[in-house]
Structure 1
Amino acid sequence: MSDPLQDPRFFANPYPTYAKLRGAAPVQKVPTGSGGRYSYLVTGYAEAREAFADPRLSKNTARFFAGQPSRRDIHPAVSQSMLATDPPEHARLRTLVTRAFTTGAVARMRPYITGLVDTMLDEWPRHGPVDLVASLAVPLPVTVICQLLGVPEADRKSVREWSSELFAAGEPQRADAASHAIAGCMTDLIAAKRARPGEGLIDDLIAVRDGDDRLTEPELVSLAVLLLVAGHETTTNFIGNAALALVQHPDSLRRLREEPELLGGAIDELLRYDSPVGIATFRYSTEALTLGGTEIPAGVPVLIAPGAANRDPARFSEPDRLDLDRDTRAQLAFGHGIHRCLGAPLARAEAEIALRALITRFPGVRPAVPAEELRWRHTRLMRGLESLPLLV
């Protein structure tokens, strides 16, 4: 059996593959990559929620790769980030950055985000197609997170390109090179901030590192890289996916235009319908366990698929239908448990503001090309469009 997650048809539309796999078993052994490698893939909702919170599934990839030769050259700032830690290290690192993404902190950023969106949409042509990904879904979250971290404007285009290459499926050399480029950029930024301190989040982390040594230098660089990449990748994909879902469902689009107060609640259904994270980053079993009736041995990789779990008919009736009245607050697009995306409040705010402006300012917005001509990113981790041509 070939790797079902590398088929070109999977990138264009993963949901038939997810449904077929889930129909066979909510947790099963699947080939991943070449050379006889395999992982256990979790596609059922109940099983995914359980797996996200199971301490026997470790995120500390270093302990599993210790002593094993590797053909990869991923910078440690990427391969050994906070995402690849377990308690208590994970809690220590997460606590240092959580306050920047609280509901209150995000609320204070809403006027800034709204201004950015208005400025970007002011530049849209009033006739002819416009690419929503290139002109809104990419620059908005990149600008916001770069502003939060203090990344110079001159570096922001490169940051986006490197970040995209980190997730290029089947192209390890590109991903490895991008990891070094983005780590180098953050190392240079930290040095510049030390020379000329400011008031950004990076400055706060430097103060922690240089003040009482609660952060090592590699941890400081790794946190900066993680915040930069995670701070925009998911949001970019979500804005594009959500906009596409709405223009493909005119009745839902019309309803949100007539009742814009519903948009806040609709965000969860849009996240469920086409999750911006298809398959979460690797976990490894620290001991043998049984999940969804499947026995998983110790020391093997486990992949949890929020994109599949969010379309599980055992949890959501008619899961392939967009339903703005559905209660989907339990959707798993941002994960679950201690590793749940800490930037979720910021991502939700950016998407809500962007979609509200799109809906209200362009009442005639519609797709500019047929669905089969849309280009999707070739990455199993992220689910996102390369471009979304719209007529406004």
Structure 2
Amino acid sequence: MSNPLQDPGFLRDPYPTFAALRSASPVQKVPGGGGRSSYLVTGYAEAREAFTHPHLSKDTAAFFAGKDTGRNLHPAVSQSMLATDPPQHTRLRSLVTKAFTPGAVARLRPYIASVADELLDQWVPGEPTDAIESLAVPLPVTVICQLLGVPNADRAAVRTWSNELFAAGQPERIDSASHAVAGYLADLIAAKRRTPDDSLLDDLIRARDGEDRLSEDELVSLAVLLLVAGHETTTNLIGNGLLALLRTPDSWHRLCEEPDLVDAAVDELLRFDSPVSMATFRFATQSISLGGTEIPAGSPVLIAPGAANRDPARFPDPDRLDLDRNTKGHLAFGHGIHRCLGAPLARTEGGIALRALVTRFPQLRLAVPAEELEWRHTRLMRGPVSLPILP
């Protein structure tokens, strides 16, 4: 059985493949690496159910216990909060939730806007630039590094390691990057113990050292997760969203004329081309039935928000970008207890970036045909490697 997720062109445009799979069955078995098959969820109702199913676990350590994977991922990455179930997940998440509430993020808006303006000040009308490297990457990287207290001099390395962690099909690069970023953050934590400040990372250190609510390994793992997840989704939101708008001129011009619509438009952009194409790993702790498909105990399950958000049973005419669409319930940030912790921050950063673009560069256009763009080589995150534009 061939793997439809490895078809030529899937990374460039996964939606025809997702549609074909969903049409055949919203939940179906697909081949995976190492001879292990997974069950792929492409239907909206089925994805929403799977995200909260009591017998779908994220405890990766339990799944791989006793299995020789041949991998050398650092435990800070392989056993992060994303790979835990309650009550461990509940305890870890409670330690960082307050930093990403809508109120906390609202207080960051002036800072985020100032960073966006500084980046766009470097753009010269009529001179080509890469919107990914000059805006979509540095904006969220700067913000999350500021929150965590990562020094300016180290931020380029952070971005490189993060990008390497999503190098699909290249396990040695992924494993090496996992050790690099975990080692860096362990050193940063040690430095902050010597010279504390008021960053989020210092709050976590205090929870570890003062309240004894974290082990040292958990502290490093949370720091890695916040650093990586704190910008990857937003980078792809900005890149995918800008590309979608430039490929739909009526929508772009409308936002240029009515920039106050941008914040509402962000959710349609998230639905239309989700930054997370497929969610992280789950497995069935017992045999379950999902979408009419029987999933045996122990089977890996992959939920595809990118596919679910294009399900015509939930979003009519889903392949059309519609800024007036009711996007309530889209799954770009997941659903349930594992819903993206940083969703308020990502949505705010994306909205600020797009508002700045439509107000400052209404004549913005692609510098190359969209068909020539290279897409990130990962089925987990979806976004262009670069986005050449003319301001």
Question: What TM-score results when the alignment is normalised by the length of structure 2?
Answer: 0.99
Give 1:329 deviation, angstroms: 1.9
Q: Which residue of 1 aligns with 2:29?
A: 29
Please tell me the residue identity of whatever aligns with 1:259: E
Aligned ranges for residues 249-268 of structure 1 at < 5 Å? 249-268=248-267
Aligned ranges for residues 39-78 of structure 1 at < 5 Å? 39-78=38-77
Please tell me the residue identity of whatever aligns with 1:23: S
Q: Which residue of 2 aligns with 1:344?
A: 343
CA distance in 2, matches of 1:192, 1:5: 43
CA distance in 2, matches of 1:342, 1:153: 24
Q: Which residue of 1 aligns with 2:18?
A: 18
Paired residue secondary structure (2:35):
coil
Paired residue secondary structure (1:212):
coil
Give 1:361 deviation, angstroms: 0.3
Q: Deviations over 1:242-288 (max 9, x none)?
A: 00001111111111111111111111110000000000000010011
Contact 1:113–1:350 (CA under 8 A) maintained in structure 2: yes
Q: Which residue of 2 aligns with 1:245?
A: 244
Paired residue secondary structure (2:40):
strand
Q: Which residue of 2 aligns with 1:180?
A: 179
Aligned ranges for residues 224-373 of structure 1 at < 5 Å? 224-373=223-372
Q: Which residue of 2 aligns with 1:160?
A: 159
Query: Quick check: 1:99 aligned with 2:101?
Result: no
CA distance in 1, matches of 2:304, 2:331: 9
Contact 1:5–1:32 (CA under 8 A) maintained in structure 2: no
Please tell me the residue identity of whatever aligns with 2:175: D
Contact 1:132–1:240 (CA under 8 A) maintained in structure 2: yes
Q: Say how many residue pairs are matched.
A: 391
Please tell me the residue identity of whatever aligns with 1:373: E
Give 1:212 deviation, angstroms: 2.2
Q: Which residue of 1 aligns with 2:376?
A: 377
Q: Which residue of 1 aligns with 2:9?
A: 9
Please tell me the residue identity of whatever aligns with 2:311: D
Give 1:349 deviation, angstroms: 0.5
Q: Deviations over 1:211-241 (max 9, x none)?
A: 1211000000000000000000000011000
Paired residue secondary structure (1:295):
strand
Please tell me the residue identity of whatever aligns with 2:72: D
Q: Deviations over 1:156-207 (max 9, x none)?
A: 1011011011011100000000000000110011000000000000100000
Paired residue secondary structure (1:11):
coil
Q: Deviations over 1:72-96 (max 9, x none)?
A: 0000000000000000110100000
Give 1:2 deviation, angstroms: 2.2
Paired residue secondary structure (2:294):
strand
Question: Structure 2: any 5+ residue segments left out of the alignment?
Answer: none
Give 1:372 deviation, angstroms: 1.1
Q: Deviations over 1:321-370 (max 9, x none)?
A: 00011000211000000000010000000000000000110010111111
CA distance in 2, matches of 1:262, 1:373: 30
CA distance in 2, matches of 1:3, 1:167: 19
Question: Structure 1: any 5+ residue segments left out of the alignment?
Answer: none
Please tell me the residue identity of whatever aligns with 2:322: D
Contact 1:6–1:380 (CA under 8 A) maintained in structure 2: no
Contact 1:130–1:390 (CA under 8 A) maintained in structure 2: yes
CA distance in 2, matches of 1:271, 1:7: 24
CA distance in 2, matches of 1:340, 1:52: 9
Query: Quick check: 1:211 aligned with 2:207?
Result: no
Please tell me the residue identity of whatever aligns with 1:136: L
Q: Deviations over 1:295-338 (max 9, x none)?
A: 00101100000000000011111000000110002110000000
CA distance in 1, matches of 2:333, 2:103: 19
Paired residue secondary structure (1:28):
strand
Paired residue secondary structure (1:29):
strand
Give 1:124 deviation, angstroms: 0.8
Contact 1:27–1:44 (CA under 8 A) maintained in structure 2: yes
The root-mean-square deviation of aligned C-alpha atoms, in Å, is 0.7
Q: Which residue of 2 aligns with 1:89?
A: 88
Please tell me the residue identity of whatever aligns with 1:132: A
Tell me the percent identity: 72
